[in-house]
Structure 1
Amino acid sequence: MAPDNPSAEEIERASQLLNAQEKAIALFEEIESTLIRPGITEKTLNAEIYQLGLDRYGIKTHWHKRVIRSGPNTLSPFAENPPDRVIQEDDILVVDLGPVFEAWEADFGRTFVLGNDPHKLKLRDALEPIWDIVKARYRENPDMSGDELYNISCEVAKEWGFDFGADIAGHIVGSFPHERIPRNKIALYITKDNNDSMGLAGSDGFRRHWILEIHLHDRERGFGGFFEKLLTVD
């Protein structure tokens, strides 16, 4: 379990992860203000985001593939690669990045709405409040299992009138490359059948830090949204 009195090294690790996330937030603010627009393809926006990250933040490595999806493509699971699509005037758009800052991983995802479609705005505006509710439930029992937190995420999404749109609600994150168990998509994920405590230490003896992901789908109208950030570091 996580130590009650963390060592200086534990504190430094948490600080580095939070610093990486703060840099990711700044990157996303620039993406929103300078790059997101209708009339370009997802592939073009992906390339522009990579170049912005390289030029402005020195990001050469992303620990997972950059995901930029719009409209119906927002319903596709992470592992899939839907056909490239032109971003429309009244669209919804998901950006999910895993930039590495000085050997520390960030994992940050946001949903953007172009135009004033009330259903898309409703979904976008529900993401962070749901994330906050799920985090509060986790904080009540930080030693809960990944299975328990996944079920909580699904329950809260349903209470807000949405489907939970993924088979995971998060995963560990750390120094690059973070801990992995080959061919195991359960033990280090917030997902069904992960019955291990989320408070277990990692294989390196340090506290595991987790990303919480909220995926909401409005299947009736054919789109979804996504919000993620650090769960275990404020």
Structure 2
Amino acid sequence: MSATPTSSAMPKPRWLFVAGSGALWHVFTPARARSWTLDRTGTQYVRQNTAYGPIAGLSCEESPLSTMDAVSREAVGAGFSMPAMLRARNLSLAAVERIARAIRPGMTQDQATELAMQVLQQMGMQRIWHRTLVRFGCDTLKMFNEPVAAENILGANDIFFVDIGPVWDGHEGDAGDTFVVGDDPEMAACAQAAHRLWREVSDRWRRDGLSGEALYRYAEERAQALGWRLNLEVKGHRACDFPHAIYKAGRLGDFGLCPTTGLWVLEIQIAHPQRPFGAFFEDLLSADPS
């Protein structure tokens, strides 16, 4: 870390956003955000060598959240590392692709889920922080905790998604994607639409610094414009060093400030307007679009 800056060197933004816990707090400002560490009294600032990236968003005055509420909902543990978080994200995306390549028509959902766990163990995950889901056909319309038919079999022309929550080096990965077997064009279009919506919403976050609430309003508008139904019961969530659940952050779609890079997962689940299937895609919101 560099030396403590003088008061004249401190940023003078329209607002400050603070996230962290214990002795480690990160203060983000609009435009090119800088990350600072505060001592426990909150009176001394030390600039970190590496900022987390560009952040923009609503002012605290414009948000229904109090500053301290925002602090608690974007808290991280003392062992949190942004490089480790991004590594967990990349490993999780790679795992989803590897799992999907191994799933074949004729498998049951239970068999595919068991296969997914084997792949994660082979890749060296420490544990899972949420159960592994593989959903086929009509079960792609269901949410995380809804019951499914374990013996549901993947057909020759079918659609499925994989949703995993592994922990790598103490940091939570979370990735989900939809895949198609066979040549049903509407299924392929549905899977592609989930990707497109996710990209459009995440791009809007990077460009305009929308709040979590506004992001899901925009997602609903775009889904309707493209001819799909967005499931607004699926609204994203926190992620960080394990376990994020202790911070009781709630859903991204209920968060009234601009989400901080690397701390929230944007989830998109859509349904075909007439046929009984849907698609799902999720990834970590990151200032780096790659």
TM-score, shorter chain, exceeding 0.5: yes
1:132 corresponds in structure 2 to: 199
1:204 corresponds in structure 2 to: none
For residues 252 and 130 of structure 2, the distance between their equivalents in structure 1, rounded to whole angstroms, comes to 17
Correspondence 1:48 to 2:115: yes
Q: State the identity %.
A: 31
Correspondence 1:189 to 2:251: yes
Q: How far 1:10 moved relative to its partner?
A: 6.3
Quick one: which amino acid aligns to residue 271 of structure 2? H
Q: How far 1:13 moved relative to its partner?
A: 2.4
Q: How far 1:23 moved relative to its partner?
A: 1.1
Query: Which ranges in structure 1 are unaligned for 5 or more consecutive residues?
Result: 201-206
8 Å Cα contact 1:46/1:66 also seen in 2: yes
Q: Identify which of 181, 204, 215 aligns with 2:269.
A: 215
For residues 283 and 259 of structure 2, the distance between their equivalents in structure 1, rounded to whole angstroms, comes to 18
Quick one: which amino acid aligns to residue 217 of structure 2? N
Quick one: which amino acid aligns to residue 141 of structure 1? D
For residues 198 and 229 of structure 2, the distance between their equivalents in structure 1, rounded to whole angstroms, comes to 14
2:3 corresponds in structure 1 to: none
Cα RMSD after superposing both structures: 2.0
Deviates more, 1:41-50 or 1:163-172: 163-172
For residues 144 and 91 of structure 2, the distance between their equivalents in structure 1, rounded to whole angstroms, comes to 23
Correspondence 1:22 to 2:90: yes
Tell me the SS of whatever aligns to 1:98. Answer: strand
Query: Which ranges in structure 2 are unaligned for 5 or more consecutive residues?
Result: 1-16, 18-27, 36-47, 53-79
Q: How far 1:199 moved relative to its partner?
A: 4.2
8 Å Cα contact 1:180/1:188 also seen in 2: no
For residues 232 and 106 of structure 2, the distance between their equivalents in structure 1, rounded to whole angstroms, comes to 28
Q: How far 1:48 moved relative to its partner?
A: 1.1
Which one has more relative contact order, counting CA pairs under 8 Å at least 6 apart?
A: 1
Q: Judging changes above 3 Å, is the alpha-carbon distance between structure 1 residues 98 and 8 closer, same or farther for their aligned structure 2 residues?
A: farther
Q: How far 1:67 moved relative to its partner?
A: 1.1
8 Å Cα contact 2:227/2:273 also seen in 1: no
Quick one: which amino acid aligns to residue 175 of structure 2? F
Correspondence 1:198 to 2:265: no
1:81 corresponds in structure 2 to: 147
1:118-157, aligned counterparts within 5 Å?
A: 118-142=185-209, 144-157=210-223
1:104 corresponds in structure 2 to: 171
8 Å Cα contact 1:213/1:227 also seen in 2: yes
For residues 259 and 185 of structure 2, the distance between their equivalents in structure 1, rounded to whole angstroms, comes to 39
8 Å Cα contact 2:212/2:259 also seen in 1: no
1:162 corresponds in structure 2 to: 228
Tell me the SS of whatever aligns to 1:216. Answer: strand
Tell me the SS of whatever aligns to 1:97. Answer: strand
Q: How many residues align?
A: 219
Q: Judging changes above 3 Å, is the alpha-carbon distance between structure 1 residues 214 and 195 closer, same or farther for their aligned structure 2 residues?
A: closer
Q: Identify which of 276, 283, 287 aligns with 1:229.
A: 283
Q: How far 1:78 moved relative to its partner?
A: 1.3
4+ residue segments displaced more than 4 Å: 8-12
Q: Judging changes above 3 Å, is the alpha-carbon distance between structure 1 residues 75 and 16 closer, same or farther for their aligned structure 2 residues?
A: same
